[in-house]
C-alpha cells in the first residue's frame, strides 16, 4: 500500500519510439472510420502510450510501493505538450510519485510525468491521480 | 474555429459524439497496450464491482482531445488538456464532448476552454475538463 514515504520514487521508460505504425493504429482505434486528420501528426492523447503506460507499468510492478490493480481507479489526468511530438521521435519518459494521502478509506496517489525527445526538449508533462482503497484496519 | 473571426469568450466548440463499442475498446486495448481486464473481461469487471467492462478513461480523453483538435484545426494546436474521470463509459454507449471558450490570452492569443463529456445514459463521464489551444502561428 502506498504511503507518504514513497514520495519521490521515480520510474523511467527510456527510448520510447514514436513509430508511425503505432500512431496510426492508435488514431484508428480512437477515431474508427471517422478519421480526424491525415496521417503524420500525433494525437495528443498518444501520450498515454509513450509517457503514461510504460512508466506506470514500472510503478505498478514495484513491490515496495505495493499498488493493487484490482480496485485501482484512474481519477484524473492532465497533460501539457510544450513541443509537439513527431513520428520518428525517440522519447525518454519518467514518472515520479509526488504525493500520497490517505482520506476517507482511500489512498490518493499523485504522479508527475515528463517526456523528453532526442533533442532534449520536453514534449509532454503530466499529472495522474490514482485512487486505491486503503488497507483494512 | 470560425474562419476570419477571433475566438471570443463564450464561443462554443462543436460537440463531438462517438459511440464506443466493445470492439473499439478491444482495439484501443491493443493499440495502447493497456489490457487491464476491467476493459476486456466482463466477469472480471463484475468481480471488482463494475456493471461489466468499461471504456478506458484514456480512450474517452482521446475523443475529448479530438473534439478540441478538430475545432482548433490540428492536433499540434492542443497545448494542454485535463479532465476528471467521473463516471465509467460502458460499451455501446455514446460519448458527447462539449466545450466553450472561457478565456482568451490578450498577449499570446491562447484560448482556454472548459470541457465536459456526457454519456448517452445521461452520466457526466468526464468533468472538470480544461484545454489550452495554441494560437495560429
**Could you give the domains of chain B?**
12-133 (3.10.129.10)
User: Which residues of A fall within a CB distance of 8 Å from B45?
Assistant: none
Chain A residues near residue B32 by CB distance under 8 angstroms: 26, 29, 48-49, 53
Q: Which residue of A has its CA nearest to B36?
A: A69
Contact A74, B85 (CB under 8 A): yes
Candidate list B11, B38, B39, B95, residue with the active-site label: B39
Superfamily per CATH, domain A4-133? Hotdog Thioesterase (3.10.129.10)
Q: Are residues A114 and A52 in contact, defined by beta-carbon separation less than 8 angstroms? A: no
Task: Check CB contact under 8 Å for B33 and A81.
Answer: no
Q: pLDDT tens for residues A33-53?
A: 777 777 778 999 999 999 999
pLDDT at res. A34? 76
Q: What angle is formed at CA A28 by the lines to CA B56 and CA A115, rounded to 5 degrees?
A: 65
Give the residue extent of every domain in chain A.
4-133
Which candidate from A30, A74, A127 shows the least CB-CB separation from B28? A30
From chain A, pick out residues whose CB is under 8 angstroms from the CB of B20.
none
- Predicted TM-score (pTM) of the model is 0.95
Could you read off the pLDDT of B3-31 as tens digits, one per residue? 567 889 999 999 999 999 999 999 999 99
Amino acid at each position: 500500500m502506498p504511503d507518504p514515504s514513497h514520495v519521490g520514487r521515480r520510474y523511467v521508460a527510456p527510448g520510447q519510439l514514436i513509430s508511425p505504425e503505432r500512431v496510426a493504429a492508435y488514431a484508428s482505434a480512437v477515431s474508427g472510420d471517422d478519421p480526424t486528420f491525415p496521417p503524420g501528426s500525433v494525437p495528443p492523447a498518444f501520450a498515454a502510450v509513450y509517457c503514461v503506460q510504460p512508466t506506470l507499468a514500472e510503478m505498478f510492478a514495484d513491490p515496495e510501493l505495493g499498488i493493487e490493480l484490482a480496485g485501482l481507479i484512474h481519477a484524473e489526468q492532465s497533460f501539457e505538450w510544450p513541443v509537439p511530438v513527431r513520428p520518428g521521435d525517440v522519447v525518454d519518459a519518467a514518472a515520479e510519485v509526488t504525493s500520497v494521502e490517505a482520506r476517507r478509506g482511500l489512498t490518493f496517489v499523485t504522479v508527475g510525468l515528463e517526456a523528453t525527445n532526442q533533442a532534449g526538449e520536453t514534449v509532454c508533462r503530466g499529472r495522474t491521480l490514482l485512487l486505491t482503497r486503503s488497507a483494512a484496519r | 474555429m470560425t474562419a476570419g473571426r477571433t475566438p471570443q469568450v463564450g464561443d462554443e466548440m462543436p460537440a463531438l459524439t462517438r459511440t464506443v463499442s466493445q470492439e473499439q475498446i478491444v482495439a484501443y486495448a491493443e493499440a495502447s497496450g493497456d489490457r487491464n481486464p476491467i476493459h476486456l473481461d466482463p466477469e472480471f469487471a463484475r468481480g471488482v464491482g463494475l456493471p461489466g467492462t468499461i471504456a478506458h478513461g484514456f480512450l474517452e480523453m482521446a475523443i475529448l482531445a479530438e473534439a478540441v483538435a478538430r475545432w482548433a484545426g490540428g492536433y499540434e494546436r492542443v497545448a494542454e488538456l485535463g479532465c476528471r474521470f467521473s463516471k465509467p463509459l460502458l460499451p455501446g454507449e455514446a460519448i458527447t464532448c462539449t466545450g466553450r471558450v472561457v478565456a482568451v490570452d490578450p498577449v499570446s492569443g491562447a484560448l482556454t476552454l472548459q470541457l465536459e463529456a456526457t454519456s448517452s445514459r445521461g452520466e457526466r463521464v468526464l468533468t472538470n475538463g480544461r484545454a489550452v489551444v495554441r494560437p495560429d502561428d
